[in-house]
Amino acid sequence: MRVDLSTRRGGFAMSAAFEAQPGEILAVIGPNGSGKSTLLNAIAGLLPAAGSVAVGDRVLDAPAGPGAARGIHVPPARRRIALLGQRPLLFPHLSVRENVAFGPRAQGVPRAEARRRADRRLEEVGLGGLAARRPAELSGGQQQRAAIARALASEPDALLLDEPFAALDAPSAAQARRLITAQQGESPAIPIVLVTHDPMDALILAARTLVMHDGSVVQGGSTSEVLGHPRSEFVAALAGVNRLEAVGADDGAVSAGGLLLRGQGHALRVGEAGSVVFAPGSVRVDPLDDSGGLGRSANPESAPAPNHWTGRVAQLDPIPGGIRLHTAEHPGIAVDCPSTHAVGLGLHPGQRLSFRIDEADVSIRGDAGWPSSRSLSERSETVPEPAERDGP
């Protein structure tokens, strides 16, 4: 699937360009209002947009060109793209089997074949024994699985998922994820675009991830890189990591957030701007020793060695398996302390502690090393009126 689209809704403009390969799950993350759902709706043909969409050798949207009197726009019902959101949107008056068979029937598939497809997909999602029930007789998780079965029974050329797990409990969400993952082994393979707010969805399901903000793609690449070294505070918070603006210092170190750090990645020249990222759980916490803290020289007036610092506990918050703490000196840096170690330290507000982190756990990137926003998402300066409707 190849997408290069821009659209405008009132005062909000969205533009994005990317490719998703057959069998690939591409994750799209971003804050509320960043344009993620607008992007999926534009790809599905539900919103007027300028630009192009192609799936395989089928062109679904294309602008008018020198050799064409008018552009191409394939109507949503003929695009062979399935769009699934948080709500199952099952027809309440139809049985589960009839709901799943609706897509194939709408495509002109004979009734018997449509029912066969429906029964096969319902078996795949674990609802074979509930085919005769009405949607109201199913749980929320079962309804969403039925909606997945309905989307797949139409044998789409591409699948768009808009927060499909958000309204599900943990067991139902886990089962739905397994169903989506299983589609990568289907033949023929289809591209899947997954909009999610949960970084675990991206890590588990997607090899590549795009980040949207204010209607544009601001970061894209392998999921491990995007979540391992975010370009924005939003993605850092989403990924649960510390991200600090940095400047190159002497001896291969960087100055970041009042700390002197060495790490892996880019070597910043002195004065060169960049950023550092590290996980709160990678920081080791120790009681403050008599010399003023681990990593200090014998001179108590000297500065801490790189990757060492001290601080006074200002905030303690419970997290699964431990305590997250912030210090008065570095309030923007979160440090996670396992529960057993927290008990041993006797953590309490006002306590002075020493902190250290291994170089291997610190990621360093220079600002000049990032791809430009335009290379991630080619923009159109204006959004023309939608092209006249035409067939493929």
* pLDDT given at position 259: 94
Q: Is there a contact between 93 and 71 (Cβ–Cβ < 8 Å)?
A: no
Ordered alpha helix ranges (H), 240-376:
339-345, 373-376
End-to-end CA distance of the chain: 15
Q: Is there a contact between 100 and 146 (Cβ–Cβ < 8 Å)?
A: yes
Q: What is the pLDDT of residues 37-79, one digit of tens each?
A: 999 999 999 999 999 999 999 999 999 877 666 789 999 989 9
Q: What is the pLDDT of residues 156-184, one digit of tens each?
A: 999 999 998 888 888 888 888 888 888 88
Using omega within 30 degrees of 0 as the cis cutoff, is the peptide bond preceding 31 cis?
A: no
> Percent of the chain, pLDDT > 70?
89
Residue 16: pLDDT above 60? yes
Q: What is the pLDDT of residues 246-265, one digit of tens each?
A: 999 988 899 999 999 999 99
Residues 107-112: contacts with CB under 8 Å, at least 24 apart: 107/154
* pLDDT given at position 373: 40
List of residues 6+ apart from 345 with CB closer than 8 A: 285, 287, 337, 351, 353
Residue 209: pLDDT above 70? yes
> What number is the average pLDDT over the span 149-162?
93
> Percent of the chain, pLDDT > 90?
65
What is the CATH code for 244-292+303-366?
2.40.50.100
Residue 387: pLDDT above 80? no
pLDDT band at 375 (very low <50, low <70, confident <90, very high): very low
Residue 379: pLDDT above 80? no
What is the CATH code for 2-228?
3.40.50.300
Q: Is there a contact between 270 and 248 (Cβ–Cβ < 8 Å)?
A: yes
How does the average pLDDT of the chain come out, rounded?
A: 87
Residue 96: pLDDT above 50? yes
Residue 385: pLDDT above 60? no
Segments of the chain assigned to CATH 2.40.50.100:
244-292+303-366
* pLDDT given at position 297: 40
Q: Is there a contact between 92 and 54 (Cβ–Cβ < 8 Å)?
A: no
Q: Between 341 and 165, where is the model more confident?
A: 341
Report which of 249, 112, 127 is spatially closest to residue 179, judged by C-alpha positions.
Answer: 127
> What number is the average pLDDT over the span 195-218?
91
Report which of 235, 231, 247 is spatially closest to residue 370, judged by C-alpha positions.
Answer: 231
> What number is the average pLDDT over the span 347-364?
96
> What number is the average pLDDT over the span 384-388?
40
Q: What is the pLDDT of residues 263-317, one digit of tens each?
A: 999 999 999 999 999 999 999 999 986 554 444 444 445 567 899 999 999 999 9
CA dihedral 134, 136, 140, 146 (to 10 degrees): 20
List of residues 6+ apart from 9 with CB closer than 8 A: 38, 47
Segments of the chain assigned to CATH 3.40.50.300:
2-228
Q: Tokens for 87, please give them.
A: 């709500």
Burial class (CB in 10 A: 0-12, 13-18, 19+), 161: buried
